[in-house]
Amino acid sequence: MTTVGTEPIMARECSFLRDLRSVAGRALRQIPRELASVLPAVLVPAFFYTVNLGALENLAGPGLNYKAFLIPMAIAFAVTGMSRAPTVVTDIQGGYFDRLCVTPVRRTALLLGLMLADAVVIMMLCVPVLAIGFGVGVRFTTGAPGVLVFVVLSVLWGFVFTGLPYAVAFKTGNPAAVSATFIVFFPLFFLSDAVVPKIALTGWFSAIATYNPVTYVLGALRSLITSGWRAGTLLQGTAAIIGIGAVSMSLALLALRGRTNHAG
Partner 1 sequence: MPDVAQYETAATDGGGDPCRAGPPAIVTADLVRRFGSLAAVDGLNLDVAVGEIYGFLGPNGAGKSTVLRMLCTLLHPSAGRATVAGYDVVTEAKQVRLTIGVTLQEAALDDRQTGRELLALQGRLYGLRSAQIRSRLDDVLDLVEIGEAIDRRIGTYSGGMKRRVDLAAALMHNPQVLFLDEPTTGLDPASRAHVWSEVRRLNSTLGMTIFLTTQYLEEADTLADRVGIISRGQLVAEGPPTILKRTLGHDTIVVEVEGDDAGVLEALRLLPRVAGVRVENGMIVVASPDGSAALNAVSVALSASAFEVKSITLRTPSLDDVFRELTGSSLDVARGAR
Residues that bind partner 1 (CB under 8 A): 1-2, 4-5, 7-14, 18-19, 22, 25-26, 29-30, 33-34, 87, 91, 94-96, 98-105, 262-263
215 and 189 Cβ atoms separated by less than 8 Å: no
Determine which helix (DSSP H) or strand (DSSP E) holds 7, and give its type and residue range.
Answer: strand 7-8
CB of 148 to partner 1, least distance (A): 32
Cα–Cα dist 137/131, whole Å: 10
Exposure class string for 120-145: b at 16+ Cβ within 10 A, else e: ebbbbbbebbbebbeeeebebebeee
CB nearer to partner 1: pick between 25 and 61: 25
Closest distance to partner 1 from the beta carbon of 68 (Å): 40
Instruction: Name which of 202 and 261 has its Cβ closer to partner 1.
Output: 261
CB nearer partner 1, residue 87 or residue 154: 87
**Exposure string for 186-196, b = 16+ CB within 10 A, e = fewer:** eebbebbbbbb
Q: How far is the CB of 259 from partner 1 (least distance, A)?
A: 11
Nearer to partner 1, 86 or 128 (CB): 86
Rounded to the nearest whole angstrom, what is the least distance from the CB of residue 198 to partner 1 in the complex?
44
